[in-house]
Every structure is written in structure tokens, then in C-alpha cells.
Structure 1
Amino acid sequence: MFLVSFFCLAKSKIMGTAIKDIDSESPKINTITIQAERFEYTPNVVRVKKGEKVKIIVDSKDTAHGIVIPDFGVSGIYSVEFTADKAGTFTFKCPTYCGEGHNEMTGTLIVEE
């Protein structure tokens, strides 16, 4: 009986440590919320660090807006997630037609080294 209890306790401690180590190594997500309203994003310039996992949430104020970042292969209506794996300046835009000024609805993503 003592041996079984000891084995269960030891296994529990080992499993708990393994789970804790995995959680502490999970990458943090840089979450950025931008407002989208007819023909503009606020802010319209977003800066992140190369290597960061990024989530951009689109808070639409008037109609359905989204975000597409072709250089990172992501598109979404409410949010996008990606890893900023290359440095540079990239354009993002609204993938959902939102009126006559739709083509001007753009922003800039700057990924810094």
C-alpha cells in the first residue's frame, strides 16, 4: 500500500513538473486591437518585433471590416494571428468591401529587428 501511494505521488509530481515546464515555455502573444471605421484603421501603423507571435483584433465601429496582410498570408474578419518572422514594412488592408473608399482602407505593419 505504501509503495502504491509513493508511486502515485511521485508520478503526480513528475507530471505536474512537466506540465508546468511546457506552460512556462509557451510563446507569449502580442495582442493588438485596432479600430476599423469606414475607410480607416486606428492606429493605422502597428509596430512589432521580429519573431513575436502577433494577434491583431479588428474592432469594427460601423460595418463588417477585417484585415488581410498578404506578406504573412493571413486574412480575417475579426482577427488574425501570425508570427512576425521577417523584418520590414508591410501593408495591411480591409478584405471586406465597405463602400466607395474601400481601396483606401490600408495600414502599415512595421516588423523591427
Structure 2
Amino acid sequence: MNKKSYLFLALVAIAAVIALSACGNNNNNNSSASSSPSASASSSAAAGGEAKAITISAKSFEFDQTDIQLNVGDTVTLTYTNTEGNHGLAIPDLNVNLKNGESTTFTVDKAGKYDFNCSIQCGAGHDNMTGTITVS
């Protein structure tokens, strides 16, 4: 083999390691909080809703909750954890993006459906990691 062949094989091997490491077990217990959702951050008493604590956990290619029901005015403290693999949780319409061990608090101020998904490319089942928050 010539030098170009060795270089090509080395690059392919590095790319394979990077791609496969995305699904590795990375349980960094980050305790940082994200608190910039676009939903209003008013208090639940002023909005007339309830305070709710929700924890969503993920393991290989699935969330433990995929259908969450809320009411307009609910103030939610959302915590996200990985139980297996390396995943994240994004709710684009609420400007939420959490990694393992992170939490955020937001108030849902309008009715609708808010889709969530895995925010870290994690392998073959990544596209199946979805859910919906329904606010009525």
C-alpha cells in the first residue's frame, strides 16, 4: 500500500470512532440549568396554572415519556436525564435544549402542540426519539 492508502484508512477509522462514540454511555452529571425558553417566565399564580415538575429520561433510542399534557399557565420545571447512551432533549418552539442532568423552568402561555426530540445525533434510532407536549 502507498502512503495515500494508509492515510485514507486512518481517516476512515477516525470517522468510524467518532460516529460510534455518539452512542456511547456518557453520563456527565451536569447540574447547569438552561432557562431561556420563549414561553413566558411569569409565575404560575399570576398565570392561573399549576406548578409541575417533570423528568424525562432517555435510553437507547427512546424517551420514557412521549406524550405530556399541560394546561395554559402551567409553570414547568423540566429535568432531563440519560439512563443509557448519550442523548439530549430539544423543544425548539420553547427554546429548550437540555443535556444529561440539566433542568429548566418555563411557563406555557399559549395552547398548542410542542414537539420535542433528541438533540444529539446518537445512532440509527435517533430519528425515532420524538415526543409531544400538548398544552390546552
Runs of 4+ in 1 over 4 A off after TM superposition: none
Does 2:87 correspond to 1:65? yes
Report the AA paired with residue 46 of structure 1.
Answer: I
Tell me which residue corresponds to 1:108. Answer: 132
- Count of matched residue pairs: 87
Trace 1:1-113 onto structure 2 (pairs within 5 A). 27=44, 29-77=51-99, 78-112=102-136
Quote the residue 2:30 is aligned against. Answer: none
TM-score by length of 2: 0.57
Report the CA distance between 1:46 and its aligned residue.
0.8
**If each structure's helix is expressed as a fraction of its own residues, which one has the higher value?**
1
What is the TM-score when the length of structure 1 is the normalising length?
A: 0.68
Aligned match of 2:29: none
Specify the code of the residue in structure 1 equivalent to 2:112: G
Unaligned runs of 5+ in 2: 1-42, 45-49
5+ residue gaps, structure 1: 1-25
SS at match of 2:123: coil
Q: Secondary structure at the match of 2:68?
A: strand
Q: How far apart are residue 98 of structure 1 and its match?
A: 1.4
Normalized per residue, the structure richer in strand is 1
Could you say which structure has the larger radius of gyration? 1
Query: RMSD value over aligned CA atoms?
Result: 1.7
* 1:39-61 deviation digits (Å, cap 9, x = unpaired): 11111111111111112212211
